[in-house]
Amino acid sequence: MTISMMDVKRLAEISGGGGRRAVQVQAQISLPWSEAVRISIKNVILRLGRAAITGTGIVLGIAFLTYVWSDAVFSDGVKRAALEQERILAAATESVKGSAVEGQESGASAAEEAQETKAKLSLQQQEAAAEEERGARRAWLVVMALLVCGIGITNSMLMSVTERFQEIGTMKCLGALDTFVVRLFLIEAAVIGCLGSFVGLVIGFLFVMFFYSIKAGFSVMAKVSWPQLLLYMLLALLIGAALSLISAIPPAVRASRMPPAAALRTEI
């Protein structure tokens, strides 16, 4: 291929006289968010393998979180159902008792009833305390799990960044500021975080639903507080995205601070 004269003429024309131009207006260097998002999403799609590795951490973490939370909501539902059942039963026996032996041994029965309520109350208290402890242990477990996930994400992000040192160096040669590099990686992390959280959410929820419909029958579904569950899920999604984002900050900042010469030299 040889470049024809015409081509070079036009090229020369549009490349503006090789900087012989008068002093240009100093424009800002910029990377619009829309472009940054486009590039980042493309990066996620085209490096799906790498994104999947990073995302697995999030998927597992959020699946666990969702499991714990939906488990709590579901067991609440089951308990409520049981309580209701009990109340109905109690009302039934009461009415039966009342109609059968009217006015008889009313004093003795009152004392007995008081005793019974007292015992029930202390049992309830005990149960509440146990529940509280279980809740605390659960929270601790969740925090630990998320922490481990965060470290996992940081690690795999670090690898993903290292793989792309050359690319980062090249971008800087083309005029990218450090903040652009950070921005691109963080958007990518947020996208992976959202996708991973969603998958984790579905997995965690399906697991719990499956478990309870076996244990307590499909009828539990009616007793579960869906608004609460939805709220928890939204929260889990947010936590997943935030976790991914926060975990990606150290590697992204590290990559962006590298002098371009050093970044370009790295070989993988």
Partner 1 sequence: MAKYVCPRCGESVETSGIVTVCPSCHADLRGVVAEEQHARTRRAAAELLRDDSVTTHEYIVRTRGLTRIYRMGDVEVSALNGVDLDIRRGEYLSIMGPSGSGKSTFFNMIGGLDKPTAGSCYINETDMAQLSAHELAWQRCHTIGYIFQTFNLIPVMTALENVTLPMIFAGATSDEMLERGRLLLELVGLEGRLHHKPSELSGGQQQRVAVARALANQPAIILADEPTGNLDLHTGKEIIDLLKELNVESGVTIISATHDLKMIDVSDRIVHIRDGKIERIERREDIELEVGTLGGEQQ
Residue 179: CB partners within 8 Å, gap ≥ 6?
256
Q: Which of 82, 143, 231, 261 binds partner 1 (CB under 8 A)?
A: 261
Q: Which of 160, 229, 209 is nearest to 189 (CA)?
A: 160
Q: Is 29 in the site for partner 1 (CB under 8 A)?
A: yes
1 or 214: CB nearest partner 1: 1
Distance CA 263, CA 168 (A): 7
Tell which positions 183-212 bind partner 1, by CB under 8 A. none
User: Using the rule CB under 8 A, is 99 a contact of partner 1?
Assistant: no
Binds partner 1 (CB under 8 A): choice among 65, 138, 195, 260: 260
The C-alpha atoms of residue 40 and residue 19 are separated, in whole angstroms, by 33
| Options 14-22, 99-107, 122-130, 212-220: segment touching partner 1 (CB under 8 A) | 14-22
Whether 151 and 245 have beta carbons less than 8 Å apart is answered as no
Instruction: Name which of 159 and 246 has its Cβ closer to partner 1.
Output: 159
Q: Is 114 helix (H, G, I), strand (E, B) or coil?
A: helix
171 binds partner 1 (CB under 8 A): yes
The answer to the question of residue 216 lying near partner 1 (CB under 8 A) is no
Q: Which of 22, 28, 108, 222 forms a contact with partner 1 (CB under 8 A)? A: 28
Structure tokens at 118: 């007292």
Q: List residues binding partner 1 (CB under 8 A).
A: 1-3, 5-21, 24, 26-32, 35, 39, 42-43, 46-47, 166-167, 169-178, 180, 259-262, 264
